[in-house]
Structure 1
């Protein structure tokens, strides 16, 4: 149970609005921003519960924005199975209330994703390696998602390395994020974590998230997405480092 003060409600709305802007500009980042900011205000467990509905709605929108849904599902189904299994296993950390460890892992995930995306060179996954890499990447992504609520590592770099066309890449990321969100919701629900007021607040957060996406899509026409993404990743890395230091110190 959390204290739903006016200041907290304003902070949640502002967080999802900003997270929506980031997703509108870059095509990703809503769960990452939301967990990064809310993880500093609430327990990672409460933050993950608030994330569920806005993440699901925005990612289904992204998934269905093109014609290749079934082709992508057939190609990535083993990765999605790994995500489901890994998320159930990792969610025990959130459920057991290990707030300090969850905060550190969340900070590490944010920092690792940011630094990798800023510095790593693009690479390609060979088609013959997908058969064993997809379920492995899915399982690791699920473990991290279950423990932290962030489902970008290593799923995003892996999907980007598959050589998909631009529109198919957007849909593939939408599929990965959607399945991760569903898996996290089912895992938390099966462990008796969801409470009615949290589900209602998560549903209400869809509104600022969608307004943020609309604003971000408009903003994208006025600023270089590459410059925006670079600044966003630097800020995210600093936020992750602060969360890790908070646990250590």
Structure 2
């Protein structure tokens, strides 16, 4: 592979790490499309396995004292694990395009609602009641299409969690997904030592850029952080709808 292409891949992975350090999510949003230009999408997802494993584990450890002990967290995470198992059924019962367009449209509606009602938030009681369903839907999407962020981020954003609480919560969910994905991919014969080595090397640019993202985010007000999350959701939703329609 030419040096120029390697530099582009390195910079895109670093950009994903920057976003991950700042918001706790978003590495695949930047890295997967970039890697897909040089590999196929399936390979791009596999290359991000080890970076996702390390970055989410690191953020959980770093923000462990902020991880909320409230009931909604356990229900949300438990729903996510159940949903991943159900994702195979969803993939067989519904087309990936239907799932992508449906989720993308719902997220866009949510963004529009939030822009019209900037101070709205999901209350504690409603958030707890909807935690398990939100986790299940996120897990189903992860199992069926490899994409869960539109639902998981939307739910946590609606709870209006502050950044220090948002990051370990979303990172725990993403880590659980990776832990389930790795043996599933291995059982399917999709992992190879070459891809594992490439994925391990990919940890370097992602992890190296995360501290910079963390430092930049410290200067952000809660309102700015909330807008960044909404922008990230908008990008995800547009990508989902476009991919589903195409």
Q: Provide TM-score, normalisation by structure 1.
A: 0.72
* Other-structure match for 2:131: 134
* Distance in 2, Cα, partners of 1:207 & 1:153: 26
Note closer, same or farther for the CA distance 1:26–1:44 as it changes in structure 2 (3 Å cut): same
Note closer, same or farther for the CA distance 1:134–1:241 as it changes in structure 2 (3 Å cut): closer
Residue 155 (structure 2) pairs with residue 158 (structure 1): yes
Per-residue deviation at 1:114?
7.0
Per-residue deviation at 1:67?
4.4
Name the stretch that deviates more: 112-121 or 197-206: 112-121
Give RMSD over aligned pairs: 4.0
* Distance in 1, Cα, partners of 2:14 & 2:98: 25
* Distance in 1, Cα, partners of 2:99 & 2:33: 11
* Distance in 1, Cα, partners of 2:100 & 2:37: 10
Note closer, same or farther for the CA distance 1:195–1:227 as it changes in structure 2 (3 Å cut): same
Q: Spell out the pairing of 1:142-221 with structure 2 (5 A cutoff).
A: 142-162=139-159, 166-220=163-217
Residue 71 (structure 2) pairs with residue 55 (structure 1): no
Q: Decide whether the 8 Å contact of 1:19 with 1:33 is kept in 2.
A: yes
Per-residue deviation at 1:209?
0.1
* Distance in 2, Cα, partners of 1:8 & 1:104: 34
Q: Decide whether the 8 Å contact of 2:157 with 2:229 is kept in 1.
A: no
Per-residue deviation at 1:198?
1.2
Per-residue deviation at 1:25?
2.4
Q: Provide TM-score, normalisation by structure 2.
A: 0.73
Residue 111 (structure 2) pairs with residue 123 (structure 1): no
Q: Decide whether the 8 Å contact of 2:16 with 2:28 is kept in 1.
A: yes
Q: Decide whether the 8 Å contact of 2:63 with 2:165 is kept in 1.
A: yes
**Count of aligned positions:** 240
Name the stretch that deviates more: 116-125 or 105-114: 105-114
List alignment gaps of at least 5 residues for structure 1: none
Summarize deviations over 1:101-153 as a string: whole Å, max 9, x none: 768966876786577457525422443762x5322211110121223333313
